[in-house]
Amino acid sequence: MNKRHVCIVALLALLWSLGAAQAAACPVCYGASDSASTQGMTAAIFSLLGVTGGVLAAFAAMFLRFRRRTRTMLREAVFIASAKNTTGKEAESHG
């Protein structure tokens, strides 16, 4: 390597080390709770959790409603079948 390459590498290393200090000053990375960006991220996380929880709750409610309606329909079907069986037996015994 010649002297020119060494100077370029040294200059790039110096610029990189100066830029790293500014990049490391991110309030989100350091956890500064009073920063506006940290508060915004927290609000975004909670709103996404709320939307996801709402959708999951709606699916759960839908399946619970399906289960309740199915049980009601089965009870009605059993009641109608038992009513037909009793009327059919009474007609045979009287006939």
Spans of all domains in the chain: 1-30, 33-95
pLDDT tens by residue, 25-75:
566 666 666 778 778 888 999 999 999 999 999 999 999 999 999 999 999
**Both structure tokens of 49:** 């959790």
Confidence of residue 84 (pLDDT cuts 50, 70, 90): confident
Contact partners, residue 48, CB within 8 Å, separation at least 6: none
How far apart are the C-alpha atoms of 40 and 38, rounded to whole Å? 5
For residue 40, give the nearest of 52, 25, 27 by alpha carbon. Answer: 27
Q: CA 84 to CA 71: how far, in whole Å?
A: 20
What pTM was computed for the model?
A: 0.50
Between 7 and 19, residue with greater pLDDT: 7
User: What pLDDT sits at residue 93?
Assistant: 55
pLDDT score at 66: 96
